[in-house]
Every structure is written in structure tokens, then in C-alpha cells.
Chains A and B, each alone.
Chain A
Amino acid sequence: MVEYASYPEGTQPGVNSERYFRTSQLAPSQPFVEAPVTLSEITGPLFPREGVSQDEADLTAGGKALGQLMVLAGQVRDEDARPLPGVLVEAWQANASGKYRHPVDGRDAPLDPHFVGGGRAVTDSEGRYRFVTIKPGAYPVPNSGNWWRPPHIHLSIYGYAFLSRMITQVYFPGDPLNELDSIFMSVPDDAARERLVAVTDTSVGLHEHALGYGFDIVLRGRNQTPMEDEGLQA
């Protein structure tokens, strides 16, 4: 039987964080309600691989985007280290100038016509995903006293359950902005924070073409059965 225990102590940022001031406006002041885990929580949306084309994992328009070409690749597993096939991973990020193709990003930095800024992939039979992209630039957070977000890639991941759904960010090794970043530093546990930093791994890159970064993801849950061929009917 599948199990979804609470997140182990220290693996997640606090709901309220002194480092990340905005939580004092948005995050609940009351403690979470502890309720039983039911059928409603151990089920969740599934995404058949046919619904996502391979092209959608290339954010560079076939290598035309400006910046440091790179591959972001890794494996999605559960807490028992079982690979999770058929998991939808969405990625979005700033371009090499630190500019998002988004109406809310009002900063005067150039857009790149060849960089859409987002893509998605479904994990293969070994739970692996892979994006071809460019290394994003750092960007300033408006009205924040000159806080610059370090280069990062946003990832959204759907496991097999509403409970294992999560959104995170991938950081780059050795960037001095990491330790100054309120969002990265909101994860209090050193080891948990380090797991958000990609590993330089040229073997996952493209030979003499794109740098490689590895980033493995662990979703909450144990004793899961792969549901790769159990896509939604609708």
C-alpha cells in the first residue's frame, strides 16, 4: 500500500520565514490542520506521455537561444528511491539576461526571440527527465533593497498523488548569490539546501555543444507502483 507520511523534519522551508519577508503577508498564521490521508490525497492527476512532445523539452529553439547552452537532466524517485516513470516535469526560467518573457517582468533587459523560457517533459521508464536550455541570468527583485535572485530554474512536478505534487527551484553550484538569496536560504537545513543545487556533470551534456547539470528530484511517498501506462482517459 502506498504511504504518504508528512515531510521529514528539516527537508522543507518553514511556512513562515524571517528570511523571506513576504511570507508574513501571505503564509498562514495558524498551524496546519493534521487530518487523515484519504483516497482524495493518494490519488492525483496523471499525464500520459503521448500528450507531451519531445520538442517541448528544448527551450533553445534548436540551439539558437543566446547564452550558455546547457542540459538539465536527472531522475525522479520516491522516498524509497524507486524511480517514478510518467511524471510530468515543467520548467520555466529567465533568459541569459535575467529577463522573463512575462508581462509582469517590467525590467528593462533584452528578450531573446529564440528563447521562450518554458518547457516540459514526462519522465521515462527509469524516471529520467532531460531539458536542453541556456543558463539563466541573475535578476533583481523590484523594491527589495537590491536583492538579486541567483540564476535558477523553476521546476513544477506532478507525482502520482495530490500529496506528492511540488514546485521547487534548481540553483547552480558555486554561485556567490546563492547564500545571499532569501528564498534559497529559507530552507534551514544545510543538507536540504544543498540538494537544491545542481551538480556539474558534463556527461549529461551534449558533446562539445552544451554543458551538463544533474538534478535529481525526490517526491514524497513510499512504496509506489509505477503508473506509466495508467494515463487519464479523458
Chain B
Amino acid sequence: MSIAPTASQTLGPFFNYALPFSADLTGGGKAEGRAIFLRGRVTDVNAAPVRDALVEIWQANAAGAYAHPLDRDEARPRDPHFNGFGRVLTDAEGGFSFTTVVPGPVPFEGNRWQAPHVSVAVFSAGLLRRMRTRAYFPGEELNADDPVLAAVPAGRRPLLVAQAEDGGFRFDIRLRGENETPFFGD
């Protein structure tokens, strides 16, 4: 039997019943790996800030393991201090900031690997659907062979690579307009 999935609807402007998840994924610095911030701004067609948008991230730990039963591999151990999920509402400037670690490469198919990346999703008033994208890291050799990045038109790929800053990385999410962030189909 096949049943149809429920339709998505907008987040609305009044979401404030935050789960007890902080924007710090490292458990106050206890997680293995290189601690960084991952921050940016969510902007609209006029490059104006989008406030009260919900930004969610999901990522592997420093060893490239997801805290999930579908990922079990002794070569990539779990980290009890890192579950890989964070969410935060954007501020009046459209800004968001997570404290996390740089993820390790994660498997694709066969012997192929995916470059280190963070899955990112945005919900907002004014959006009927979730917008799903990925943040990659500059200078990673695997970026050149990443199967998901390769699906993005070459000219737009740089938009998915975060920019290094002192202590972390910047990943701006331009929902529409100039240098619009590429989003993946849902």
C-alpha cells in the first residue's frame, strides 16, 4: 500500500518553542576534532536579512560517522559528545552561528567518498517548503570528486564552499537573487 506524503507549509513568523538544542554541537568543547564556528546570514532577493528563519544543520563527527543506526562502521567511531544536529533562529540581521567541528569524509558508493560537508536546511515565513543545501569546506582535496557537489552546475559550485575566517567558516545563504545559493530537490 502506498500513501501520499503530507504537504509542507510555511514555518510562519512565530516559531519560538525551541527544542533544548543549543547552537553548540560540541557539548561545550568535549567533542573530538577541530572546533570551529559555522556562521552566516540568510538573505532575500534584495539581499535584506531574513529574521526568525529556522536554520538546521546535520553532520558527521570528526571521524566521518553519523550518530544514526544506518551508519555503523568500526573504522569511523561514534563520538559520545557529538550527535551532529543543531538548530537556531536567525537574528534581526539574518545571522546564525553554530559551534561545531569539521566533519570527516563520509562514504558514498563503492570506494568513493564524499568530501567533508554539513547538511543545512532553512525554514522561514515566506517559504512554503524547506530549502536544503550543503556547506563544504575550502581546500579539501575531496571536493573535486564529491558526487553531490558534482551535480551542481560548475559555475555555482563555489557558492556551496564556505569561506575560511579566523576560528571558523562563513556560509551565507542567499535564498534568491544574485549569487543565489543552490538548493537540492526535496
Q: Name A residues whose Cβ lies closer than 8 Å to a Cβ of B.
A: 2, 6-8, 11-15, 17, 20, 22-30, 32-36, 38-46, 51, 77, 79-81, 88, 90, 92, 94, 100-102, 104-105, 117-120, 154, 156, 160, 162-163, 165-169, 183-184, 186-187, 191-193, 195-196, 217-220, 225, 227, 230, 232-234
A-B contact pairs, 8 of them (CB 8 A): A11-B6, A13-B9, A28-B183, A45-B58, A51-B20, A88-B19, A167-B10, A193-B7
Per the bound structure, the CA–CA distance linking A53 and B39 in Å amounts to: 32
Per the bound structure, the CA–CA distance linking A192 and B4 in Å amounts to: 8
- When the two chains form their complex, are residues A13 and B46 in contact, meaning their CB atoms are under 8 A apart? no
B62 at the interface (CB under 8 A from A): no
- When the two chains form their complex, are residues A166 and B8 in contact, meaning their CB atoms are under 8 A apart? yes
A197 shortest CB reach to chain B, Å: 11
Shortest 6 CB-CB contacts between residues of A and residues of B? A118-B17, A22-B126, A45-B85, A32-B185, A43-B68, A35-B151
- When the two chains form their complex, are residues A33 and B1 in contact, meaning their CB atoms are under 8 A apart? no
Stretch at the interface among B75-83, B137-145, B164-172: B75-83
A21 shortest CB reach to chain B, Å: 9
With a 10 A CB-CB cut-off, give which of B10, B46, B114, B175 has the most chain A CB atoms. Answer: B10
- Out of A12, A20, A234, which one reaches B7, CB within 8 Å? A12
Given the interface pairs A41-B119, A167-B123, the reply to whether A79 lies near B3 with Cβ below 8 Å is yes
Interface of B is mostly: loop
Given the interface pairs A167-B130, A233-B78, the reply to whether A218 lies near B9 with Cβ below 8 Å is no
- When the two chains form their complex, are residues A195 and B58 in contact, meaning their CB atoms are under 8 A apart? no
- When the two chains form their complex, are residues A26 and B67 in contact, meaning their CB atoms are under 8 A apart? no
- When the two chains form their complex, are residues A27 and B128 in contact, meaning their CB atoms are under 8 A apart? yes
Per the bound structure, the CA–CA distance linking A31 and B128 in Å amounts to: 15
- When the two chains form their complex, are residues B131 and A28 in contact, meaning their CB atoms are under 8 A apart? yes
- Out of A36, A156, A169, which one reaches B147, CB within 8 Å? A36
B20 / chain A contacts, CB cutoff of 8 Å: 51
- When the two chains form their complex, are residues B183 and A33 in contact, meaning their CB atoms are under 8 A apart? yes
- When the two chains form their complex, are residues A234 and B50 in contact, meaning their CB atoms are under 8 A apart? no
B11 at the interface (CB under 8 A from A): yes
Residues of chain B in range 90-147 having any CB-CB distance to chain A below 8 Å: 106-108, 114, 117, 119, 121, 123-132, 134, 147
- When the two chains form their complex, are residues B186 and A26 in contact, meaning their CB atoms are under 8 A apart? no
Given the interface pairs A35-B184, A41-B119, A230-B69, the reply to whether A23 lies near B19 with Cβ below 8 Å is no
A137 shortest CB reach to chain B, Å: 13
Interface size class of B (residues with CB under 8 A): 35 or more
- When the two chains form their complex, are residues A30 and B3 in contact, meaning their CB atoms are under 8 A apart? no
- When the two chains form their complex, are residues A218 and B58 in contact, meaning their CB atoms are under 8 A apart? no
A104 shortest CB reach to chain B, Å: 5
Per the bound structure, the CA–CA distance linking A80 and B3 in Å amounts to: 6
- When the two chains form their complex, are residues B80 and A32 in contact, meaning their CB atoms are under 8 A apart? no
B17 shortest CB reach to chain A, Å: 3
A88 / chain B contacts, CB cutoff of 8 Å: 19
A114 shortest CB reach to chain B, Å: 16
- When the two chains form their complex, are residues A26 and B148 in contact, meaning their CB atoms are under 8 A apart? no
B128 / chain A contacts, CB cutoff of 8 Å: 12-15, 17, 20, 23, 27, 183, 186
- When the two chains form their complex, are residues A104 and B13 in contact, meaning their CB atoms are under 8 A apart? yes
Beyond A41-B119, A232-B83, list 8 extra A-B contacts (CB 8 Å): A8-B4, A34-B151, A40-B148, A45-B58, A169-B12, A230-B69, A233-B83, A234-B82
- When the two chains form their complex, are residues A26 and B3 in contact, meaning their CB atoms are under 8 A apart? no
A33 / chain B contacts, CB cutoff of 8 Å: 151-153, 182-185
A41 / chain B contacts, CB cutoff of 8 Å: 119
Per the bound structure, the CA–CA distance linking A167 and B11 in Å amounts to: 7
The proximity string for B residues 39-76 relative to A, scoring 1 for CB distances below 8 Å and 0 otherwise, is 00000111000101000101110000011111100000
Per the bound structure, the CA–CA distance linking A107 and B51 in Å amounts to: 19
